[in-house]
Amino acid sequence: MKLPCYLVRDLLPLYQDEVCEPETAADLREHLDNCPDCRALWEKMQTADPLEGEAVQARRQEEAAVLRRVKRSQYRKRVLMVLAAVLATLCAVCLGLRLVYEYANETYLDYDARVIGEVSFEARDGEENSPLSGTGLYATVSAEAAHALVSSKLVETEEGTAVVFTLGCTLKNQWLYHWLEGTASPQSAELAICTAGGYGRTTAETLCAAYYLPYHAFMSWFYQHDAPVPEEAVLLWQRSYE
């Protein structure tokens, strides 16, 4: 079989390593016998310095090793960039959640007086068991304010001792209660306003009136020394002396 020169040049390294098929080797020998150019290339390959060939091979291996190191370095950089982006996202989310938590934990709701239903004075036992029990003033509040805490302050008026109170609940606690309750039907609640367990039987039994202030207005008024009942306070209960 007559082989073209370009094919012979590609096959000469295989022929030199003696890995060609016998028929291919025979065709190469026939071509080399009749082609001066290919025979000259073959003779050059035969006389090449083996050390030079080893140096070329070693250089190629080193270049390949460098290329592998570069690829591994680029891969590590890409992985680190992805991890950095994920970490930055997590930090931003955590910071956002922290800010939301602090805001919700420090923000108190202002309940309108309309959330308070019946306010009544009741004679009860058990004042020695709890500051929120015994004879005194109690209020029924709607489900919206069922988890609020009562804060109060006694004020001396011309008619006698009055109590000014508010309902306090943070936005965080409201979210928490709503989450815990889930789909359960909201329920109203009874809250103690001024009882013998908290203020003593004498104060509870001589109480003449109860006023309500929204939380922020109450806190602004609370720390004023000897301050009278605020004008904006809503009168919710007054003792009848008939």
Answer whether residue 57 is part of any domain: no
SS3 string, the chain, reads: CCCCHHHHHHHHHHHHCCCCCHHHHHHHHHHHHHCHHHHHHHHHHHHCCHHHHHHHHHHHHHHHHHHHHHHHHHHHHHHHHHHHHHHHHHHHHHHHHHHHHHHHHHCECCCCHHHEEEEEEECCCCCCCCCCCCCEEEEEECHHHCCCEEEEEEEECCCCEEEEEEEECEHHHHHHHHHHHCCCCCCCEEEEEEEHHHHCHHHHHHCCEEEECCHHHHHHHHCCCCCCCCCCCEEEEECCCC
Residues 32, 143 within the same domain:
no
Residues 36, 67 within the same domain:
no
Answer whether residue 56 is part of any domain: no
Residues 223, 187 within the same domain:
yes
Answer whether residue 55 is part of any domain: no
Answer whether residue 53 is part of any domain: no
pLDDT recorded at residue 60: 57
Residues 226, 196 within the same domain:
yes
Tally of domains within the chain: 3
Residues 85, 191 within the same domain:
no
pLDDT recorded at residue 64: 64
Residues 216, 165 within the same domain:
yes
Residues 100, 160 within the same domain:
no
Residues 149, 213 within the same domain:
yes
Residues 179, 141 within the same domain:
yes
pLDDT recorded at residue 52: 56
pLDDT recorded at residue 183: 58
Residues 68, 153 within the same domain:
no
Residues 118, 221 within the same domain:
yes
Q: Which range marks the domain in which residue 73 is found?
A: 63-106
Answer whether residue 133 is part of any domain: yes
pLDDT along the chain (242 residues), means of 10: 80 78 84 87 75 61 72 88 94 94 92 92 79 87 89 92 94 86 73 89 90 95 91 93 64
pLDDT recorded at residue 53: 56
Answer whether residue 135 is part of any domain: yes
Residues 19, 132 within the same domain:
no
